[in-house]
Amino acid sequence: MHLSINEAARGLLRHARPGDWLTLSFGLLFVAWLFTVTWTTGGAEKVVIRSSGKIFAELPLATKQTVRVPGPLGTTVIAVDRGRARVERDPSPRQYCVKQGWLARAGDIAVCLPNQVSVELAGRTRTYDSLSY
């Protein structure tokens, strides 16, 4: 005797009681709450620019501006605009930090290793990449 999946599901639903539905509902709500708590970050408030491991500038994200950061290979150009930031130009050969595009969330970071420049968005709470992934 073979039961189809639909028949098996109907059999399980027929035997479910109100307490089962309540437990399932609370479980789904708990998983949704847990997802929002662990996977969302606070809003970014400022951009932290580092050069050669030292803080070069800390700027609010609300202002529109362009920052030129000196490095061993030349000047890296960083744009800040309407709550986001990005590396516009960099003298590094592969342009990985430029390809990162706009950074918009707290914890986002672009690192230009050959030129020793980094751009990080910071907020009220600190995110930990190594623990999240």
pLDDT for 129 equals: 54
Same domain for 71 and 108, yes or no, is yes
Q: What is the pLDDT of residues 92-132, one digit of tens each?
A: 888 899 999 999 888 889 999 999 999 999 887 665 554 44
What stretches of the chain adopt beta strand conformation (E)?
Answer: 44-51, 54-60, 65-71, 74-81, 84-89, 109-112, 117-123
Q: Which of 27, 123, 113 is nearest to 72 (CA)?
A: 113
Q: Provide the whole-model pTM.
A: 0.66
Mean pLDDT, all residues of the chain: 84
Q: Which CATH number fits the domain that encloses residue 57?
A: 2.60.320.10
Quote the tokens at residue 21: 């539905």
Quote the tokens at residue 56: 């070069």
Same domain for 21 and 50, yes or no, is no
Same domain for 34 and 78, yes or no, is no
| Range(s) of the domain holding residue 113 | 44-132
How many domains in the chain? 2
Same domain for 50 and 80, yes or no, is yes
Residue 63 has pLDDT above 70, yes or no: yes
